[in-house]
Homo-oligomer: A and B are copies of this chain.
Amino acid sequence: MAPSTLVTSASPLPSGSAVATKLEAFARLSADDRAALGAIISGVRYVEARQDLIREGDQPKSVHLVLEGWACRYKHLPDGRRQIVNFLVAGDFCDLNMHILEAMDHSIGAISRLKVAVISPEAMDALTAGRPGITRALWWHELVTAAIEREWTLNLGQRSAYQRLGHLLIELYVRLRIVGLGHGGRCDWPLTQNDLADATGLTAVHVNRTLQELRRDGLIELARKQLHILDFQRLMRVSMFNPYYLHFDREGRHFDIGA
């Protein structure tokens, strides 16, 4: 496994943490729920940028939760090509129930330096027992993750390069906004054009040219690890982005994603 630091002292979630914020996008959590959520972390682990958190073939033993940084879920082919099937940002669980399976069928790699919470499956069970609110919220997280990955399949199968990139930029901005990491169309952007290529099934060269088109059309600014979406409505329209698949407006807050 890739080099990383495991800090075993329990460190409770800061109030207003990304996890709680994210889960509350769907269901209201009680103060007790939120406290319980903070108490289950058995350790914090740091993973350097471009290192793997878990690899295909590894046996998943604990549950990981991204606290800071970006990661990606990816698979590769014997000839070395790789496909990123999802990105993970603060508040995302990496492998909520993978311990049911005996081996990972994909890897999780750090894009930027990663701070992750490590949680034992037993602690997860104890957390959900008798807390239907949290159980539902975790189920919701799992289902939304699957829905996002399905939307990516649609992205790869049917959208043009221009639309694919537009769609991806919006999705990530919206997801960051939900956990408080995006404002006014702006967010941090640690992805290289190579990462974008692996996520969209394009070559890095073509990603480069397509991003230039998006800039030329006045839709985005993207430079120095910062994304700025200039015309949200138009970018949504041209990339045929429909936010329903993110399911973030049931009992929880409703987010005006356009702002």
Residue positions of A touching B, CB distance < 8 A:
57, 73, 75, 77-79, 81-83, 85, 97-98, 100-103, 105-106, 136, 139-140, 142-143, 145-147, 149-154, 156-159, 198, 200-201, 240, 242, 244-245, 247, 250
Residues A83 and B140 in contact, CB atoms below 8 Å apart? no
Cα–Cα, bound, A78→B149 (Å):
19
Supply 17 further A-B pairs (C-beta < 8 A) apart from A105-B150, A149-B150, A156-B156. Answer: A75-B151, A77-B159, A83-B153, A85-B153, A97-B142, A101-B140, A101-B250, A102-B250, A105-B147, A105-B151, A105-B244, A105-B247, A153-B153, A153-B156, A156-B157, A156-B201, A158-B201
**What 10 A-B pairs have minimum CB-CB distances, sorted nearest first?**
A157-B201, A156-B156, A83-B157, A105-B245, A83-B154, A81-B158, A85-B153, A75-B154, A85-B150, A156-B157
Residues B75 and A150 in contact, CB atoms below 8 Å apart? yes
Could you tell me the distance in whole angstroms from the C-beta of A250 to the nearest C-beta in chain B? 5
Q: What copy number does this chain have within its complex?
A: 2
> A97, A200, A201, A242: which has the most chain B beta carbons within 10 Å?
A201
Which chain B positions have C-beta within 8 A of A200?
157
Which chain B positions have C-beta within 8 A of A145?
146
Which chain B positions have C-beta within 8 A of A142?
97, 142
Could you tell me the distance in whole angstroms from the C-beta of A244 to the nearest C-beta in chain B? 6
Residues A101 and B143 in contact, CB atoms below 8 Å apart? yes
